Amino acid sequence: MSIGIQHKLGADIIFAFDELTTLVNTRGYQEESVQRTHAWAVRCLLEHRRLTALHPSKPAQALFGVVQGAQYEDLRRQATRGLVSIVDEEGRGFDGYGIGGALEKQNLATIVGWVRVSVGSTIASLGRSAAWLIPVFTLRASTSRTQIVVLSLPVPVVVGMATNGSSGWTGACALPTGALT
């Protein structure tokens, strides 16, 4: 259903369905979430390919898998390897990878580093080309206006829009993994 809605919206970049965990969830819960998100990612990739084939005249949409694992390096790396290994019957995987789930803002760069290395090494071992990596972030704010949020990173960045939902600011930025090596 999530992929169908995103296809109808016509977004250029769409995300596989994932579970947003919190920092208060236990390690065990985070492990289950990684597995659940992986299973959903498999279904989302297949549905994305099916819907794309049904409407070949529509503009292409890039599907991104979302890496979960909270603040646990081993879970982030496991989730990354799992997502990169998901391919369709033609051997095509996700167009990119988002970093989601529970994290503290001050740990974002560290977590991006873990995932970047895992994406790069796994893609290289599979003989596939570079993908995009998106740090997905949540910030608290006291206003309810929609704004553009720009992250200050020392690499080329494509910025996405952030909106204030009931839990705070959410949004995404994208950068090519090749620029992070």
Distance of alpha carbon 103 from alpha carbon 111, whole angstroms: 8
If one counts every other C-beta atom within 10 angstroms of the C-beta of residue 176, the result is 16
Q: Which two tokens stand for residue 167?
A: 């839990």
Position 25 scores a pLDDT of 92
Q: Which two tokens stand for residue 81?
A: 């390897």
Position 139 scores a pLDDT of 38
Angle between helices 73-85 and 27-54 (to 10 degrees): 20
Distance of alpha carbon 143 from alpha carbon 47, whole angstroms: 37
Domain positions in the chain are 2-136
Digitized pLDDT (tens) for each residue of the chain, 181 residues in all? 789 999 998 888 889 999 888 889 999 999 999 999 999 999 999 999 999 999 999 988 888 888 899 999 999 999 999 998 999 988 888 888 888 877 777 787 788 888 877 777 776 676 665 555 555 444 333 333 333 333 333 333 333 333 334 443 344 444 444 433 3
Residue 90: closest CA among 121, 122, 45: 45
Beta-carbon contacts of residue 84 (< 8 Å; ≥ 6 apart): 93, 94, 97, 118, 119, 122, 123, 126, 128, 131
Residue 148: closest CA among 162, 135, 138: 162
Tell me the pLDDT tens digit for each residue of 70-93: 999 999 999 999 998 999 988 888
Position 83 scores a pLDDT of 92
CATH superfamily of 2-136: Queuine tRNA-ribosyltransferase-like (3.20.20.105)
